[in-house]
Structure 1
Amino acid sequence: MVQEKIQLQMLKDITNKYGIEIHLFKDNPIIHLQKGNYQKFIHGFQFELNSDSVSTICKDKGAISIILDFHQIPHVEHRTFSLSSQKTSINESLWTSIQNFAQKYNFDVVCKPNNGFSGQDVYHAHSQRELEKTVHKLLSIYSEFCISPFYKAEFEYRVIVINDRPELIWCKECLALVGDGHSRLKTLFSNYISLLDTQKIAKLFKDFDHSILTSDRVLAYGEKFNLKWKHNEALGSTVSLHNNIDQDKKDKISNLALLTARKLNLFFASIDILDCNDEFKVLEAHTAVTMGPVIRNCGEEGYQKTKEVYDKVVRYMFDID
């Protein structure tokens, strides 16, 4: 991808500035860095700054949820369910556990791979019947998955944390139509996509509810209708560095991200936080920190902010003042 090449060039520029040799391996995400007798590795933009155990926990949504619950940190609860190595189908005990958990949230839940990313194979179930179909679909591909309650959230924030400091915050906003009091939903949508380029339209139609195309529903003036409930930039959500975040909200988001990083022993990570009507909940944490969405959507400022983050990380890796 273009953004990955841009980030790799950033790393080359940064390491060259500090006299660090960099070696890339063909057809492999490993990056080797060396300064004198001191070497470090980067793998898939996972920098050698967090422990292996912490990195493993962050790949496991259910495990993160357990730790956050233990420390009483507001978060979106994730419960992991899995088939044993000897089983190929759901037994009664497992299905009862799944139903009991989902029932806590009136079967309005999200089902996803336990170690998935980028919104792939993530489904919103609205009922017990939908849950059953979704679970069978996931277990036909994965040996384990997790369930979490669904929260309607217009905004999701990603906070980049380095050494107990919030270095960067960006906002992911769901695509939404705004009512004018008289136009039908299908008309509002038609007008909306007429302003988009081909690439954005392609993202929009990924994982899309096509009933919108024929809907005669009329939105009240100022009423918002979310076209997507996922906040993934790959599915069309907008990304911004500012988004008019007031200082009080910024402080709450930053403090929650820092508390999460401390309790998970994270040195360098990105923390995803859902804004549920100004009630903030940790969604996920990642030790593989790639900032392609900022580079793609935030112009020169996004490029410079990304470079500043990676510059600081490389200096920490090699103990450079």
Structure 2
Amino acid sequence: MTTVVLGSGPKAAWARAVLGRLSIGGSDIRAVEGGFSRASLDDVASSPVDALVLVDQVVDVGALAKPSEKVLCDLVRPNAMQFAFAREVAARARCTIQLAPGAPVEEWATALADLTGTSPDAVREHMSGFPGPTTASLNGLPEGPVANVVRGYLAPLSAACATAAPLSLNWQRELFLDGDAPGTMLPAAPEVGGRPRILAYGPYLPLPVGRWSATVYLGFSNEIGRLPFIFEVDAGGSVARGFFEVERGGLFSLSLDFEVAQPLHLVECRLISQDSAIEGQFSLIEVQLDLQPGEAPAGYRAP
């Protein structure tokens, strides 16, 4: 039996030690504490995974709350890669259990006993070294773009490997980059005027494998004239592309379907103006992302 323990810190080390003591001879306990890359995923998936144990899969609020010169998409990417990695391993595992932060010790004992075919009493014999609950709270984040991105993207993504519920994510404007100033956050109301060009791009973040529907919400100022645009999603295979034309100011939306076929691929969206413009401003408000039915991990079972 091969069990992958995904997590770092004292609680993950404790879980690995308890599983090693309780498992029958010949069991393979593998630890994944970092390096959430395609190569690492291929290594984990090179042999059948009987069970995935998720330990404290939570948003790193401390890192996000610190002042940083990084653009927001770069700041949230490490957590996003961790959660997307967990989702892909869960899709390959025969079963997945989540040892949730803040959960009572009894829940952890029951889950590990169920996984190893032993009794909760047998697990309780090892509880003396239990590091204690982890507090998972967004209280350390002030209201604003970071907290909104956590709620709309990171938090639901972190839960995606431990539930078969529909998955909806949200990429807000602050995650995207400015086509006129590459590498900087997209302003609230950039100029459209000028030559045809890429106006906005990014955020180079992962999405779970599957078929997705994306809806981009845009605003245009009253000065805008008739102008054609392209919105496209590059998910690693063919580029999904939608065309639309703006004739006056207002709010607009465009939906298109695309497929993520490569695990942990960093997805890029692009908003492109197709003709020159004299004046006008635009706002990329958000991109709503919905995983189409039938793409949930197959092996999940609740502890």
Asked if Structure 1 and Structure 2 have the same fold, meaning a TM-score greater than 0.5 normalized by the shorter chain, the answer is: no
TM-score (norm 2): 0.23
TM-score (norm 1): 0.22
